[in-house]
Amino acid sequence: MAPLLDAAATVLPTVWVGSAGAVVLRALERSDDAMLAEFVRGLSPASRRERFHAGVPELPAPWLRALLRVDAAREFALIALAREGDRSVCIAEARYALDRERDDTREFALVVADRWHRQGLGAELLQRLLAHARTHGVERLVGDVQRSNAAMVQLATRAGFRVATHPEDARLLRVERQLAPDRAAETSAPRAWRAAA
């Protein structure tokens, strides 16, 4: 199981250097709409289906608006940017969002541009989601993965996620990881906060 990054690793923006070069990781911003739409259009049909569980050629406008609307107090979204000529392009997107069923749980998703597969970027993004969630009091991360998405199942397994049958959809698997509380954050909180918890 890969170690969790410490809280300092969740500070953005930051540069990650992988086998294919340097990438800037930063929080998703509302102004990233055109960049995010272009990124999704550039994914292969298989990658779009695995990420969105639907065969969409591009993001419908309501989906794009929903992806850009991140509740920073309870959710987290980041993108990876690489240089192509004289401009930065999005090559990956990762997030966790509120779970509809449990307050202590967040549902995560990530997708990496096809040409950047097998470079370690997906693993880096997943570790950053885990670190951020842990330092922000999230107790459990879950994700719904297409059964055919062996790479994501393997990535999640390596990051310590348990894989199970999806409770409602036979085409999916559910990956889940309990997160240990961040003891450093708990002990640095004022005593009154700890007592009220």
Domain ranges (residues) in the chain: 7-139
Q: What's the token pair of residue 159?
A: 């990051």
**Does residue 191 register a pLDDT over 50?**
no
* pLDDT at 99 (0 to 100): 84
Mean pLDDT of the 63-77 span? 91
CA 69 to CA 50: how far, in whole Å? 22
Mean pLDDT of the 85-105 span? 90
CA 84 to CA 24: how far, in whole Å? 13
For residues 153 and 173, is the Cβ–Cβ distance under 8 A?
A: yes
Mean pLDDT of the 74-102 span? 91
With a pLDDT cut of 70, the percent of the chain lying above it is 84
* pLDDT at 196 (0 to 100): 41
CA 54 to CA 88: how far, in whole Å? 27
* pLDDT at 20 (0 to 100): 67
From the CA atom positions of the chain, what is the Rg in Å? 17
- Domain 7-139, CATH class in plain words: alpha beta
Q: What's the token pair of residue 32?
A: 């990233």
**Does residue 7 register a pLDDT over 50?**
no
